[in-house]
Amino acid sequence: MTKKFLGTVLLPGNYDPVTKGHMSSLRYLSERSDKVIAVIMTLEADEHKRWIPSSDMKQLIEEAVKTEGLDNVEVYIEKEGWIADTIEKFHANGVARSFHPNISIENELELIKAVVDLDVPLHLIPSKLDIRASNIKFFAEENMLNEFSDQLPENVYKYILKHKCLNLD
């Protein structure tokens, strides 16, 4: 086991839906932190735009981290979009981000600037992302999700099949 040295770390994101890439990042941080908070960043006013409601996603992430044995990972919904409030609420020692080829640099720069302005360490972590969460909806709508089922935690894949009424046979 790697020595834990990061304290309490936030991993903000949309998690719409959570993917194996997210889970890999949570595992990486879990092994190095006393506590990890997966922060679902969703403005209350934009909740209707989510593919999977944030309250359902919170439960799905909690189930997935339990299955993975990540006992020091919690899930929190940030409805106002203020990372500063979340940092304060959890007395976070840092914010983590993983970079991958399909990242929106503009959005990342905004988050990085906000975290740096708060004088909180930003931890850049390796990404094992094969597919972005935003691509999952597209593949589902194209009846191709079964080809990418290995990119989702099993409980999330089952949720999508059940609640999105997909015919993937």
Q: pLDDT tens across 134-157, in order?
A: 888 888 888 888 888 899 999 999
Cα–Cα dist 139/80, whole Å: 29
Q: Is residue 25 part of a domain?
A: yes
Report the number of distinct structural domains present in the chain: 1
* φ/ψ bin of 7: left (φ > 0), alpha (ψ from -120 to 50), beta (otherwise): left
Distance between CA atoms of 114 and 78, rounded to whole angstroms? 15
In a domain, 93, yes or no: yes
Asked if pLDDT for residue 60 goes beyond 80, the answer is yes
- Per the domain annotation, does 162 fall within a domain? no
Asked if pLDDT for residue 1 goes beyond 60, the answer is no
Q: Does a structural domain hold residue 136?
A: no
pTM of the model as a whole: 0.87
Q: Which CATH number does the domain housing residue 121 bear? A: 3.40.50.620
pLDDT at 146 (0 to 100):
87
- Per the domain annotation, does 152 fall within a domain? no
* Whole-number Å distance between alpha carbons of 167 and 129: 26
The answer to whether position 138 is within a domain reads no
Helix (H, G, I), strand (E, B) or coil at 144: coil
C-alpha span between 60 and 133 (Å, rounded): 14
158 lies in a domain? no
Mean pLDDT of the chain: 86
* Position with higher pLDDT, 131 vs 14: 14
- Closest to 13 (Cα-Cα) out of 71, 61, 66: 61
What pLDDT, on a 0 to 100 scale, did the predictor assign at position 100? Answer: 64
Asked whether residue 101 carries a pLDDT value surpassing 70, the answer given is: no
Give the SS3 label for residue 87: helix
- Supply 111's token pair: 């988050």
Residues of the domain holding 125: 8-129
Is 62 within the bounds of a domain? yes
Query: Quick one: average pLDDT of 28-54?
Result: 93
